[in-house]
Amino acid sequence: MDERPGCLSGLLKLTLLNWIFDWLQRTFGLKSGSCLGCGCGLVLFVIFIILALSIIFGTDWFRLVMEQPLVQTMI
């Protein structure tokens, strides 16, 4: 059975990743204005690309809802 998350979960993960990436870039990266910004910004960008690709290719974009119910009954 394929256990990949649905598209809503993937979109939420990408939104959260984008928010965290923007905050890290403003604080430590290219937008920080410090001399270490280039090195840290490049490292953060590479990490962002790797995580974004893992979310994009690990998500089943055609499944909107999880197939299993939230509460399972005891049999």
Portion of the chain with pLDDT greater than 70, in percent: 64
Q: Which of 16, 8, 11 is nearest to 63 (CA)?
A: 8
Instruction: Say if 30 falls within a structural domain.
Output: yes
Q: Are 28 and 39 in contact (CB under 8 A)?
A: no
Instruction: Say if 48 falls within a structural domain.
Output: yes
Res 67: pLDDT:
55
Instruction: Say if 70 falls within a structural domain.
Output: no
3-state SS, 6-32, equals: CHHHHHHHHHHHHHHHHHHHHHCCHHH
Instruction: Say if 72 falls within a structural domain.
Output: no
Range of the structural domain that residue 52 is part of: 7-57
Q: How many domains does the chain have?
A: 1
Q: What pLDDT, in 10s, does the model give residues 35-64?
A: 666 677 788 888 899 888 888 888 776 765
